[in-house]
Amino acid sequence: MAMRSVPSMRRRLVALLLPWPLLAAAHGDAPLQRDDVAWLCRDGFGLDSALVAGYRQLGRNRLLDAQLTDRVPGRLPPAVAALIAGYPALRTPPDQLLAQWNQAQERIKAMPEGDAKVAARNDLQKQGNQLAQQAQQAELLQAVYGPNQLKEQMVWFWLNHFSVYAPKGRLRWEVADYEEHAIRPHALGRFRDLVMATLKSPAMLEYLDNAQNAKGHVNENYARELMELHTLGVDAGYTQQDVQQLALILTGAGIAPVDGRVERFNPKMAPLVVRDGLFEFNPNRHDFGDKVLLGQAIKGSGFDEVRQAVDLIVRQPACARFISRKLAGYFVADQPPPALVERMARTFQRSDGDIAKVLRTMFTSKELLAAGAPKFKDPTQFVVSAMRLAYDGRPVANALPLVNWLNLLGEPPYGRITPDGWPLDGASWSSSGQMETRFEVARAIGYGSAQLFTPEGAAQPSPGFPLLTTRLYYDAVEPYLSAATRAGLAQARSQQEWNALLLSSPDFGYR
Protein backbone atom coordinates (compact mmCIF):
# COMPACT_ATOMS: atom_id res chain seq x y z
CA MET A 1 0.00 0.00 0.00
CA ALA A 2 1.08 3.56 -0.55
CA MET A 3 2.56 5.21 2.50
CA ARG A 4 1.28 8.60 3.54
CA SER A 5 3.74 11.35 4.33
CA VAL A 6 4.79 12.10 7.88
CA PRO A 7 3.36 15.66 7.70
CA SER A 8 -0.07 14.30 6.74
CA MET A 9 0.08 11.87 9.66
CA ARG A 10 0.98 14.76 11.96
CA ARG A 11 -2.03 16.73 10.72
CA ARG A 12 -4.29 13.84 11.59
CA LEU A 13 -2.61 13.60 14.99
CA VAL A 14 -3.43 17.26 15.64
CA ALA A 15 -7.01 16.55 14.60
CA LEU A 16 -7.09 13.74 17.15
CA LEU A 17 -6.11 16.02 20.03
CA LEU A 18 -9.64 16.31 21.33
CA PRO A 19 -10.85 15.75 24.89
CA TRP A 20 -9.78 12.33 26.02
CA PRO A 21 -12.23 9.43 26.04
CA LEU A 22 -12.95 7.29 29.03
CA LEU A 23 -10.99 4.10 28.42
CA ALA A 24 -12.47 0.69 29.13
CA ALA A 25 -11.73 -2.92 28.37
CA ALA A 26 -13.50 -6.16 27.66
CA HIS A 27 -12.06 -9.61 27.78
CA GLY A 28 -13.66 -12.77 26.48
CA ASP A 29 -17.10 -13.61 27.83
CA ALA A 30 -16.73 -11.56 31.01
CA PRO A 31 -15.72 -8.03 30.02
CA LEU A 32 -13.98 -5.79 32.47
CA GLN A 33 -15.95 -2.72 33.42
CA ARG A 34 -14.82 0.77 32.50
CA ASP A 35 -13.42 1.53 35.94
CA ASP A 36 -11.58 -1.81 36.04
CA VAL A 37 -9.38 -0.79 33.14
CA ALA A 38 -9.03 2.74 34.49
CA TRP A 39 -7.87 1.23 37.79
CA LEU A 40 -5.35 -1.00 36.01
CA CYS A 41 -3.97 1.98 34.10
CA ARG A 42 -3.29 3.75 37.42
CA ASP A 43 -1.98 0.60 39.09
CA GLY A 44 0.59 -0.24 36.41
CA PHE A 45 2.65 1.49 33.75
CA GLY A 46 0.27 0.20 31.10
CA LEU A 47 -1.80 -2.73 29.93
CA ASP A 48 -0.37 -6.01 28.78
CA SER A 49 -1.90 -9.48 28.64
CA ALA A 50 -0.25 -10.65 31.87
CA LEU A 51 -1.61 -7.73 33.91
CA VAL A 52 -5.13 -8.17 32.50
CA ALA A 53 -5.03 -11.94 33.08
CA GLY A 54 -3.81 -11.49 36.65
CA TYR A 55 -6.59 -9.00 37.34
CA ARG A 56 -9.22 -11.34 35.95
CA GLN A 57 -7.87 -14.29 37.91
CA LEU A 58 -7.37 -12.58 41.27
CA GLY A 59 -9.76 -9.66 41.19
CA ARG A 60 -8.88 -6.16 42.26
CA ASN A 61 -8.43 -6.70 45.98
CA ARG A 62 -6.38 -9.89 45.77
CA LEU A 63 -4.18 -8.46 43.02
CA LEU A 64 -3.58 -5.38 45.16
CA ASP A 65 -2.75 -7.61 48.13
CA ALA A 66 -0.23 -9.56 46.04
CA GLN A 67 1.35 -6.36 44.76
CA LEU A 68 1.64 -4.65 48.15
CA THR A 69 3.24 -7.74 49.70
CA ASP A 70 5.41 -8.20 46.59
CA ARG A 71 4.07 -11.68 45.93
CA VAL A 72 2.86 -11.27 42.38
CA PRO A 73 3.29 -14.50 40.41
CA GLY A 74 5.82 -14.42 37.60
CA ARG A 75 9.26 -13.01 37.03
CA LEU A 76 11.20 -11.15 34.38
CA PRO A 77 11.46 -13.01 31.05
CA PRO A 78 14.74 -14.99 31.16
CA ALA A 79 16.15 -13.08 28.18
CA VAL A 80 15.46 -9.75 29.90
CA ALA A 81 16.90 -10.95 33.22
CA ALA A 82 20.03 -12.11 31.38
CA LEU A 83 20.31 -8.77 29.58
CA ILE A 84 20.19 -6.88 32.88
CA ALA A 85 22.60 -9.28 34.58
CA GLY A 86 25.07 -8.78 31.74
CA TYR A 87 25.48 -5.05 32.34
CA PRO A 88 28.82 -4.34 34.09
CA ALA A 89 27.11 -1.53 36.01
CA LEU A 90 24.97 -4.13 37.79
CA ARG A 91 27.17 -7.22 37.91
CA THR A 92 30.24 -5.40 39.27
CA PRO A 93 30.21 -4.68 43.03
CA PRO A 94 29.98 -0.92 43.63
CA ASP A 95 33.20 -0.78 45.65
CA GLN A 96 35.06 -2.30 42.69
CA LEU A 97 33.53 0.23 40.31
CA LEU A 98 34.64 3.14 42.51
CA ALA A 99 38.07 1.58 43.00
CA GLN A 100 38.45 1.36 39.22
CA TRP A 101 37.45 5.02 38.95
CA ASN A 102 39.97 6.05 41.61
CA GLN A 103 42.76 4.06 39.98
CA ALA A 104 42.00 5.60 36.58
CA GLN A 105 42.00 9.08 38.12
CA GLU A 106 45.38 8.46 39.74
CA ARG A 107 46.85 7.24 36.44
CA ILE A 108 45.52 10.27 34.61
CA LYS A 109 46.79 12.63 37.29
CA ALA A 110 50.29 11.18 36.96
CA MET A 111 50.35 11.57 33.16
CA PRO A 112 52.07 14.62 31.60
CA GLU A 113 49.84 17.15 29.90
CA GLY A 114 49.17 16.32 26.28
CA ASP A 115 47.02 14.35 23.86
CA ALA A 116 47.44 11.08 25.74
CA LYS A 117 46.10 12.61 28.94
CA VAL A 118 43.13 14.11 27.10
CA ALA A 119 42.40 10.75 25.48
CA ALA A 120 42.57 9.00 28.86
CA ARG A 121 40.11 11.49 30.35
CA ASN A 122 37.76 10.98 27.40
CA ASP A 123 37.98 7.21 27.78
CA LEU A 124 37.09 7.43 31.46
CA GLN A 125 34.19 9.74 30.63
CA LYS A 126 32.99 7.28 28.01
CA GLN A 127 33.17 4.40 30.47
CA GLY A 128 31.12 6.37 32.97
CA ASN A 129 28.52 7.24 30.34
CA GLN A 130 28.21 3.57 29.42
CA LEU A 131 27.70 2.58 33.05
CA ALA A 132 25.02 5.26 33.48
CA GLN A 133 23.27 4.11 30.30
CA GLN A 134 23.30 0.54 31.58
CA ALA A 135 21.66 1.68 34.82
CA GLN A 136 19.03 3.55 32.81
CA GLN A 137 18.36 0.54 30.60
CA ALA A 138 18.05 -1.79 33.59
CA GLU A 139 15.50 0.48 35.24
CA LEU A 140 13.41 0.76 32.06
CA LEU A 141 13.53 -2.98 31.40
CA GLN A 142 12.24 -3.61 34.92
CA ALA A 143 9.46 -1.08 34.30
CA VAL A 144 8.39 -2.70 31.02
CA TYR A 145 8.62 -6.35 32.05
CA GLY A 146 8.35 -6.40 35.85
CA PRO A 147 5.38 -8.58 36.92
CA ASN A 148 4.59 -6.36 39.93
CA GLN A 149 3.63 -3.22 38.06
CA LEU A 150 2.65 -1.27 41.17
CA LYS A 151 6.09 -1.89 42.66
CA GLU A 152 7.75 -0.83 39.40
CA GLN A 153 5.82 2.45 39.47
CA MET A 154 6.88 2.98 43.07
CA VAL A 155 10.53 2.31 42.22
CA TRP A 156 10.33 5.02 39.55
CA PHE A 157 8.38 7.33 41.89
CA TRP A 158 11.00 7.08 44.65
CA LEU A 159 13.91 7.38 42.21
CA ASN A 160 12.32 10.63 41.13
CA HIS A 161 11.45 11.75 44.66
CA PHE A 162 14.99 11.05 45.94
CA SER A 163 16.45 12.29 42.68
CA VAL A 164 20.17 12.16 41.85
CA TYR A 165 21.99 13.47 38.77
CA ALA A 166 24.24 10.92 37.10
CA PRO A 167 26.55 13.34 35.20
CA LYS A 168 27.84 14.88 38.44
CA GLY A 169 31.29 13.63 39.49
CA ARG A 170 31.47 9.87 39.72
CA LEU A 171 27.73 9.29 40.12
CA ARG A 172 27.73 7.46 36.78
CA TRP A 173 29.55 4.68 38.64
CA GLU A 174 27.01 4.71 41.49
CA VAL A 175 23.47 5.07 40.12
CA ALA A 176 22.95 1.37 39.35
CA ASP A 177 23.74 0.54 42.98
CA TYR A 178 21.44 3.38 44.09
CA GLU A 179 18.40 1.88 42.35
CA GLU A 180 19.26 -1.72 43.20
CA HIS A 181 20.12 -1.35 46.90
CA ALA A 182 18.72 1.97 48.17
CA ILE A 183 15.40 2.28 46.33
CA ARG A 184 14.08 -1.08 45.09
CA PRO A 185 14.24 -3.05 48.38
CA HIS A 186 12.30 -0.32 50.24
CA ALA A 187 9.82 0.82 47.58
CA LEU A 188 6.87 -0.77 49.43
CA GLY A 189 8.33 -0.77 52.95
CA ARG A 190 8.57 1.84 55.67
CA PHE A 191 9.35 5.39 54.65
CA ARG A 192 11.91 5.76 57.44
CA ASP A 193 13.90 2.81 56.08
CA LEU A 194 13.79 4.32 52.61
CA VAL A 195 15.08 7.66 53.89
CA MET A 196 17.91 5.92 55.75
CA ALA A 197 18.81 3.83 52.70
CA THR A 198 19.07 6.91 50.50
CA LEU A 199 20.98 8.75 53.23
CA LYS A 200 23.59 5.98 53.22
CA SER A 201 23.83 5.73 49.45
CA PRO A 202 27.07 6.93 47.82
CA ALA A 203 25.03 8.46 45.01
CA MET A 204 23.03 10.68 47.38
CA LEU A 205 26.02 11.47 49.60
CA GLU A 206 27.98 12.71 46.60
CA TYR A 207 25.16 14.37 44.69
CA LEU A 208 24.09 16.57 47.63
CA ASP A 209 27.63 16.95 48.98
CA ASN A 210 27.26 15.34 52.38
CA ALA A 211 30.40 13.31 51.67
CA GLN A 212 32.21 16.64 52.20
CA ASN A 213 30.21 17.60 55.30
CA ALA A 214 32.60 17.61 58.26
CA LYS A 215 33.20 19.39 61.55
CA GLY A 216 34.63 22.80 60.77
CA HIS A 217 33.65 22.49 57.10
CA VAL A 218 29.89 22.14 57.31
CA ASN A 219 27.92 21.68 54.08
CA GLU A 220 24.16 22.25 54.39
CA ASN A 221 23.05 21.04 50.94
CA TYR A 222 21.81 17.60 51.89
CA ALA A 223 20.30 18.72 55.20
CA ARG A 224 18.24 21.33 53.40
CA GLU A 225 16.98 19.01 50.66
CA LEU A 226 16.35 16.19 53.12
CA MET A 227 13.76 18.37 54.83
CA GLU A 228 12.51 20.45 51.91
CA LEU A 229 12.29 17.85 49.13
CA HIS A 230 12.49 14.42 50.75
CA THR A 231 10.37 14.61 53.89
CA LEU A 232 8.64 17.79 55.09
CA GLY A 233 8.09 20.09 52.14
CA VAL A 234 9.03 23.72 51.75
CA ASP A 235 6.19 25.12 53.87
CA ALA A 236 6.44 22.80 56.89
CA GLY A 237 7.49 25.49 59.36
CA TYR A 238 11.10 24.48 59.99
CA THR A 239 13.71 27.22 60.12
CA GLN A 240 17.17 27.90 58.75
CA GLN A 241 18.47 27.06 62.21
CA ASP A 242 16.87 23.60 61.87
CA VAL A 243 18.74 23.14 58.58
CA GLN A 244 21.99 24.17 60.25
CA GLN A 245 21.43 21.84 63.18
CA LEU A 246 20.59 18.93 60.89
CA ALA A 247 23.74 19.62 58.87
CA LEU A 248 25.78 19.36 62.09
CA ILE A 249 24.04 16.08 62.93
CA LEU A 250 25.01 14.77 59.48
CA THR A 251 28.70 15.68 59.76
CA GLY A 252 30.85 12.61 59.24
CA ALA A 253 28.24 10.70 57.22
CA GLY A 254 30.16 9.85 54.05
CA ILE A 255 31.73 7.17 51.90
CA ALA A 256 34.26 4.57 52.98
CA PRO A 257 37.65 4.72 51.23
CA VAL A 258 38.00 2.33 48.27
CA ASP A 259 41.70 2.95 47.64
CA GLY A 260 43.06 0.77 50.43
CA ARG A 261 43.59 3.72 52.76
CA VAL A 262 42.75 2.94 56.42
CA GLU A 263 42.06 5.82 58.78
CA ARG A 264 43.24 5.39 62.34
CA PHE A 265 40.86 6.09 65.21
CA ASN A 266 41.75 6.56 68.87
CA PRO A 267 40.29 3.98 71.27
CA LYS A 268 37.40 6.27 72.24
CA MET A 269 36.37 6.94 68.65
CA ALA A 270 36.81 3.49 67.11
CA PRO A 271 33.57 2.02 68.58
CA LEU A 272 31.62 4.92 67.04
CA VAL A 273 32.58 4.08 63.45
CA VAL A 274 29.60 2.81 61.45
CA ARG A 275 30.03 1.03 58.11
CA ASP A 276 27.30 -0.34 55.86
CA GLY A 277 28.52 -1.26 52.38
CA LEU A 278 30.17 1.86 51.01
CA PHE A 279 28.63 4.06 53.70
CA GLU A 280 30.88 5.18 56.53
CA PHE A 281 30.13 7.30 59.55
CA ASN A 282 33.50 8.76 60.51
CA PRO A 283 33.50 10.08 64.10
CA ASN A 284 36.72 12.01 63.42
CA ARG A 285 34.70 14.22 61.06
CA HIS A 286 31.62 14.56 63.28
CA ASP A 287 30.57 17.53 65.40
CA PHE A 288 29.73 16.01 68.80
CA GLY A 289 28.09 19.13 70.20
CA ASP A 290 24.50 18.92 71.43
CA LYS A 291 21.84 20.04 68.92
CA VAL A 292 18.22 21.16 68.89
CA LEU A 293 16.17 20.02 65.86
CA LEU A 294 12.51 20.92 65.38
CA GLY A 295 12.39 21.94 69.03
CA GLN A 296 13.79 18.65 70.35
CA ALA A 297 17.18 18.31 72.04
CA ILE A 298 19.54 15.75 70.53
CA LYS A 299 22.59 14.96 72.61
CA GLY A 300 25.90 14.66 70.76
CA SER A 301 26.50 10.93 70.47
CA GLY A 302 27.63 10.10 66.93
CA PHE A 303 25.59 8.20 64.36
CA ASP A 304 22.73 7.73 66.79
CA GLU A 305 22.03 11.44 66.28
CA VAL A 306 21.29 10.69 62.63
CA ARG A 307 18.86 7.92 63.57
CA GLN A 308 17.11 10.18 66.08
CA ALA A 309 16.89 13.03 63.58
CA VAL A 310 15.38 10.86 60.83
CA ASP A 311 12.88 9.37 63.30
CA LEU A 312 11.88 12.84 64.42
CA ILE A 313 11.50 14.20 60.90
CA VAL A 314 9.51 11.33 59.37
CA ARG A 315 7.08 11.29 62.31
CA GLN A 316 6.11 14.91 61.81
CA PRO A 317 2.52 15.41 60.60
CA ALA A 318 3.96 17.60 57.85
CA CYS A 319 5.90 14.60 56.48
CA ALA A 320 2.78 12.43 56.36
CA ARG A 321 0.88 15.13 54.48
CA PHE A 322 3.75 15.94 52.12
CA ILE A 323 4.36 12.35 51.04
CA SER A 324 0.65 11.55 50.82
CA ARG A 325 0.00 14.60 48.66
CA LYS A 326 2.84 13.74 46.33
CA LEU A 327 1.71 10.11 45.97
CA ALA A 328 -1.86 11.20 45.25
CA GLY A 329 -0.57 13.79 42.78
CA TYR A 330 1.22 11.05 40.86
CA PHE A 331 -1.50 8.40 40.88
CA VAL A 332 -4.80 10.28 41.21
CA ALA A 333 -4.81 13.88 39.98
CA ASP A 334 -2.49 16.83 39.55
CA GLN A 335 -4.51 18.54 42.27
CA PRO A 336 -5.50 15.58 44.44
CA PRO A 337 -8.65 15.66 46.58
CA PRO A 338 -7.78 17.06 50.02
CA ALA A 339 -9.98 14.53 51.80
CA LEU A 340 -8.08 11.65 50.21
CA VAL A 341 -4.71 13.19 51.06
CA GLU A 342 -5.83 13.63 54.66
CA ARG A 343 -6.91 9.98 54.95
CA MET A 344 -3.62 8.83 53.44
CA ALA A 345 -1.72 11.06 55.87
CA ARG A 346 -3.61 9.56 58.82
CA THR A 347 -2.71 6.08 57.57
CA PHE A 348 0.92 7.18 57.24
CA GLN A 349 1.00 8.35 60.84
CA ARG A 350 -0.93 5.41 62.33
CA SER A 351 1.27 2.87 60.51
CA ASP A 352 4.56 4.64 61.24
CA GLY A 353 5.10 5.41 57.56
CA ASP A 354 4.12 2.04 56.07
CA ILE A 355 4.15 2.83 52.33
CA ALA A 356 2.06 -0.22 51.39
CA LYS A 357 -0.70 0.76 53.81
CA VAL A 358 -0.78 4.31 52.48
CA LEU A 359 -1.04 2.95 48.93
CA ARG A 360 -3.87 0.65 49.99
CA THR A 361 -5.79 3.63 51.35
CA MET A 362 -5.37 5.37 48.02
CA PHE A 363 -6.04 2.41 45.71
CA THR A 364 -9.20 1.39 47.56
CA SER A 365 -10.58 4.94 47.65
CA LYS A 366 -13.50 6.20 45.61
CA GLU A 367 -11.42 9.25 44.70
CA LEU A 368 -8.84 7.24 42.73
CA LEU A 369 -11.10 7.15 39.67
CA ALA A 370 -13.49 9.97 40.55
CA ALA A 371 -11.08 12.85 40.86
CA GLY A 372 -12.26 14.51 37.65
CA ALA A 373 -9.63 15.16 35.04
CA PRO A 374 -7.55 12.18 33.87
CA LYS A 375 -3.82 11.90 34.42
CA PHE A 376 -1.69 12.79 31.41
CA LYS A 377 1.21 10.40 31.00
CA ASP A 378 4.67 11.74 31.69
CA PRO A 379 7.33 10.61 29.17
CA THR A 380 8.34 7.53 31.16
CA GLN A 381 4.74 6.37 31.47
CA PHE A 382 4.22 7.03 27.76
CA VAL A 383 7.27 5.09 26.57
CA VAL A 384 6.84 2.17 28.97
CA SER A 385 3.11 1.82 28.32
CA ALA A 386 3.71 1.93 24.55
CA MET A 387 6.27 -0.86 24.86
CA ARG A 388 3.95 -2.95 27.01
CA LEU A 389 1.01 -2.66 24.60
CA ALA A 390 3.03 -2.96 21.40
CA TYR A 391 5.17 -5.95 22.34
CA ASP A 392 3.08 -7.49 25.14
CA GLY A 393 5.89 -9.25 26.99
CA ARG A 394 8.12 -10.02 24.00
CA PRO A 395 11.72 -9.57 25.25
CA VAL A 396 13.86 -6.95 23.55
CA ALA A 397 17.57 -7.45 22.92
CA ASN A 398 18.55 -3.78 23.08
CA ALA A 399 17.04 -1.29 25.54
CA LEU A 400 19.16 1.67 24.43
CA PRO A 401 16.37 3.04 22.18
CA LEU A 402 14.19 3.45 25.29
CA VAL A 403 16.89 5.61 26.90
CA ASN A 404 17.27 7.63 23.70
CA TRP A 405 13.52 8.26 23.51
CA LEU A 406 13.42 9.54 27.08
CA ASN A 407 16.39 11.79 26.33
CA LEU A 408 14.42 13.23 23.40
CA LEU A 409 11.31 13.62 25.56
CA GLY A 410 13.28 15.36 28.30
CA GLU A 411 12.87 12.87 31.16
CA PRO A 412 15.87 10.51 31.22
CA PRO A 413 16.41 8.45 34.38
CA TYR A 414 19.01 10.11 36.63
CA GLY A 415 18.97 13.12 34.32
CA ARG A 416 17.34 15.87 36.39
CA ILE A 417 20.09 18.34 37.25
CA THR A 418 18.18 19.89 40.17
CA PRO A 419 17.28 17.72 43.19
CA ASP A 420 13.51 18.30 42.95
CA GLY A 421 12.96 15.46 40.46
CA TRP A 422 10.96 15.59 37.25
CA PRO A 423 7.56 17.33 37.52
CA LEU A 424 4.55 15.05 37.93
CA ASP A 425 1.82 17.31 36.53
CA GLY A 426 0.41 17.02 33.02
CA ALA A 427 0.99 20.66 32.11
CA SER A 428 4.76 20.15 32.25
CA TRP A 429 4.60 17.47 29.53
CA SER A 430 1.87 18.61 27.13
CA SER A 431 3.54 21.32 25.04
CA SER A 432 3.32 21.20 21.24
CA GLY A 433 7.00 20.27 21.04
CA GLN A 434 6.45 17.40 23.45
CA MET A 435 3.50 16.13 21.42
CA GLU A 436 5.53 16.31 18.22
CA THR A 437 8.31 14.26 19.81
CA ARG A 438 5.84 11.75 21.18
CA PHE A 439 4.55 11.23 17.68
CA GLU A 440 8.09 10.48 16.48
CA VAL A 441 8.54 7.95 19.31
CA ALA A 442 5.17 6.37 18.52
CA ARG A 443 6.20 6.17 14.88
CA ALA A 444 9.52 4.50 15.76
CA ILE A 445 7.71 1.88 17.85
CA GLY A 446 4.85 1.44 15.41
CA TYR A 447 7.11 1.04 12.39
CA GLY A 448 9.54 -1.28 14.18
CA SER A 449 12.48 0.87 13.12
CA ALA A 450 14.21 1.22 16.49
CA GLN A 451 16.47 -1.87 16.51
CA LEU A 452 14.92 -3.06 19.77
CA PHE A 453 15.49 -6.66 18.79
CA THR A 454 19.00 -6.18 17.43
CA PRO A 455 21.68 -6.59 20.10
CA GLU A 456 23.60 -3.37 20.74
CA GLY A 457 26.47 -3.05 18.28
CA ALA A 458 25.17 -5.77 15.94
CA ALA A 459 24.47 -5.13 12.28
CA GLN A 460 21.42 -7.37 11.99
CA PRO A 461 18.29 -5.92 10.39
CA SER A 462 15.18 -5.21 12.44
CA PRO A 463 12.73 -8.14 12.47
CA GLY A 464 9.80 -5.90 11.55
CA PHE A 465 6.99 -3.90 13.10
CA PRO A 466 4.70 -4.99 15.96
CA LEU A 467 1.10 -6.07 15.43
CA LEU A 468 -0.99 -4.04 17.84
CA THR A 469 -4.22 -5.56 16.53
CA THR A 470 -3.98 -8.47 18.95
CA ARG A 471 -6.51 -10.00 21.31
CA LEU A 472 -5.25 -7.62 24.01
CA TYR A 473 -6.19 -4.70 21.79
CA TYR A 474 -9.61 -6.04 20.83
CA ASP A 475 -10.42 -7.11 24.39
CA ALA A 476 -9.05 -4.14 26.32
CA VAL A 477 -8.71 -1.11 24.06
CA GLU A 478 -10.77 -1.15 20.85
CA PRO A 479 -14.29 -1.25 22.33
CA TYR A 480 -13.82 2.09 24.07
CA LEU A 481 -11.86 4.21 21.62
CA SER A 482 -13.27 7.66 20.94
CA ALA A 483 -14.98 8.47 17.66
CA ALA A 484 -12.12 10.81 16.75
CA THR A 485 -9.50 8.12 17.27
CA ARG A 486 -11.55 5.57 15.33
CA ALA A 487 -11.86 8.01 12.44
CA GLY A 488 -8.13 8.65 12.44
CA LEU A 489 -7.26 4.95 12.54
CA ALA A 490 -9.65 4.27 9.68
CA GLN A 491 -7.54 6.50 7.43
CA ALA A 492 -4.31 4.55 8.02
CA ARG A 493 -2.82 3.10 4.83
CA SER A 494 -0.65 0.47 6.52
CA GLN A 495 -0.38 -1.47 9.76
CA GLN A 496 2.70 0.58 10.68
CA GLU A 497 0.87 3.86 10.22
CA TRP A 498 -2.10 2.50 12.17
CA ASN A 499 0.25 1.56 15.04
CA ALA A 500 1.76 5.03 15.14
CA LEU A 501 -1.64 6.73 15.13
CA LEU A 502 -2.94 4.59 17.98
CA LEU A 503 0.13 5.12 20.17
CA SER A 504 0.07 8.88 19.57
CA SER A 505 -3.69 9.28 20.08
CA PRO A 506 -5.19 11.12 23.07
CA ASP A 507 -6.81 7.87 24.15
CA PHE A 508 -3.36 6.44 24.72
CA GLY A 509 -1.85 9.67 26.08
CA TYR A 510 -3.90 9.57 29.28
CA ARG A 511 -4.32 7.00 31.99
On whether both 464 and 395 belong to a single domain, the answer is yes
Q: 296 has which bridge partners?
A: 293
389 found inside a domain: yes
> Which SS3 state, helix, strand or coil, does residue 280 take?
strand
Residue 27 located in a structural domain: yes
Would you say residue 78 lies in a domain?
no
Q: Are residues 429 and 444 in the same domain?
A: yes
How far from 508 is each of 90, 242, 378, 435, 504, CA to CA, in Å? 33, 46, 12, 12, 7
pLDDT tens profile 243-296? 999 999 999 999 999 887 878 888 889 999 999 999 999 999 999 999 999 999
pTM (predicted TM-score): 0.93
The predicted pLDDT at position 462 comes to: 64
Domain count of the fold of the chain = 2
Q: Is residue 394 part of a domain?
A: yes
Residue 176 lies in a domain: no
Parent domain of 343: 317-368
The DSSP secondary structure of 444-484, one letter per residue, reads HHHHT-S-TTS-TT--PPP-------SHHHHHHTGGG--HH
Let me know whether 322 and 449 are in one domain.
no
Same domain, 406 and 501: yes
Number of helical H runs and strand E runs in the chain:
24, 5
Residue 111 in domain: no
The answer to whether position 32 is within a domain reads yes
Classify residue 240: in a domain, yes or no: no
Residues 378 and 481 in one domain: yes
The stretch 121-132 carries a mean pLDDT of: 96
pLDDT in tens, 401-447: 999 999 999 999 999 999 999 999 999 999 999 999 999 999 999 99
